[in-house]
Amino acid sequence: MLRVETIETIKSTVPVLEVHGKEITKRFYQMMFTHHPELLNVFNHANQKQGRQQTALANAVYAAAANIDKLEAILPVVKQIAHKHRSLGVKAEHYPIVGQYLLAAIKDVLGDAATDDILQAWAEAYGVIADVFMGIEAEMYENAERQEGGWPSFRAFRVERKVKESEVITSFYLVPDDGKAIAAFEPGQYVSVKIEIPGESHTHIRQYSLSGAPGRPYYRISVKREDAIEGRPAGKVSVYLHEQIEEGEILWLSAPAGEFTLDRTDTRPVVLISGGVGLTPMISMLDTLVETDPKRQVTFIHAARNGNVHAMKAHVEEIAAQHPQVSVSWCYEQPTELDKAEGAFQKEGFIDLPWLQTVIPTRDAGFYFCGPVPFMKALNRALKDWGIMASDIHYEFFGPAGDLEQPSETGEAEVSRQR
């Protein structure tokens, strides 16, 4: 337990963290990677360059400071981060390193304002918070290894099939190279894929949602090829997977992880909404629902740029044709002439609340969504404007967690932009 004086000191730093938090976390990563470059084998380099990791850490530090006297309030966030840590291979021995350079970054950025009392308070607070993380993650590692078909770190999987789903999305069917059983998972969870790219100094790890229902002898991931666009560099891992990984080759996977899962105890209708490659966890949820709960009403809504990049459309429409409790609706931002001629979509442009109200039969449902951050921000606002309770809204970030309540830098209207 923290001393009262420590709690008061940490609380006093909250306004400072609100202003300087991202600057502190940026400096933290610079210092840590300079002295421990081996940790670049764990962290996502693209998220570092784009500033997403720094922002996510700044938000987490701010939340911890603001709730230092009631850390149970941030336990859901802690568990979400712990899932990522376990899937990446973050271990207890990494926490002292993080603590050392986080304190050094606070001192470096704040200068004389970071008094000895403040640094001591943060050292004590970090020790308590780190103990919480390490305890939860130790249990997660143990559960990952002990479950039937489980394993603790990374395991070799062979690409059994490689299937092109659209112009930009390809699915990889992965079976364990040792021929043994694989761990079960909950629809919505992901695996980490560890890649060594020739010519690269460090390994790369990416998380990909499992895009099929549990209970198969394989895992399926469906990967969008991230080409360079609008000043953004191409995705090294996604391009490598699309161009270099063929059937028969080996990928190294973590055991399934993640807090974004379908609530199978809820018997109410389900609304699944996705944008771009955000449909992957939704496909897993849809497949699971029609197999295990065929009477439950499902509304499946997907936004894509057009039919050329719309993956798994035929699969979803076939499910809807066979299961009358499933309804589907498509929104195309820039439909092709063929899309228009075939009537391949129900709405042109962006998803908005008036249209959602015409295709979703009831507000008394569980709402799940995933996609680009601007898409999710706009959708989150629309659902709240409609009066959907926060407890019924569930979403997943691809990459470091963000804040859907903050205005989007790229515009709230971009609700169907592909990730």
Rama region for 258: left / alpha / beta (φ>0; ψ in -120 to 50; rest): left
- The answer to the question of whether 336 is labelled as a binding residue is no
Ligand-binding annotation for 402, yes or no, is no
Q: Is 281 annotated as a binding residue?
A: yes
Q: Which of 298, 357, 309, 360 is nearest to 333 (CA)?
A: 309
**Does 248 belong to an annotated binding site?**
no
Find out whether 146 is annotated in a ligand binding site.
Answer: no
Residue 329 assigned as binding residue: no
> 207 among the known binding-site residues?
yes
89 is in an annotated binding site: no
**SS3 of 109-123:** HHHHHCCHHHHHHHH
Residue 253 annotated as binding site: no
Confirm or deny that 398 is annotated as ligand binding: yes
Note if 137 is an active site residue: yes
Q: Is 209 labelled a binding residue?
A: yes
DSSP secondary structure letter of residue 408: P
* Catalytic residue from among 62, 101, 126, 137: 137
3-state SS, residue 418 = coil
Distance between CA atoms of 247 and 161, rounded to whole angstroms? 6
Known catalytic residue at 219: no
**Is 276 marked as binding a ligand?**
yes
Which of 29, 62, 95, 126 is an active site residue? 95
The H helix count followed by the E strand count for the chain is 13, 12
Residue 277 known to bind ligand: yes
Q: Is the dihedral of CA 90, 135, 187, 303 positive or negative?
A: negative
Q: Tokens at residue 161, please?
A: 């099939």
Q: How far apart are CA 110 and CA 277, in angstroms?
A: 41
Q: How many angstroms separate the CA atoms of 54 and 23, rounded? A: 8
Long-range contacts of 91-98 (CB under 8 A, 24+ apart): 92/134, 92/137, 92/138, 94/39, 94/42, 95/130, 95/133, 95/134, 97/32, 97/36, 97/39, 98/32, 98/130
265 is in an annotated binding site: no
- 8 A C-beta contact, residue 204 and residue 197: yes
Would you say 374 is a known binding-site residue?
no
240 is in an annotated binding site: no
What are the binding residues? 85, 190, 206-209, 276-281, 397-400
What are the binding residues for FAD? 190, 206-209, 397-400
What are the binding residues for heme b? 85
What are the binding residues for NADP(+)? 276-281
- Catalogue the active-site residues: 95, 137
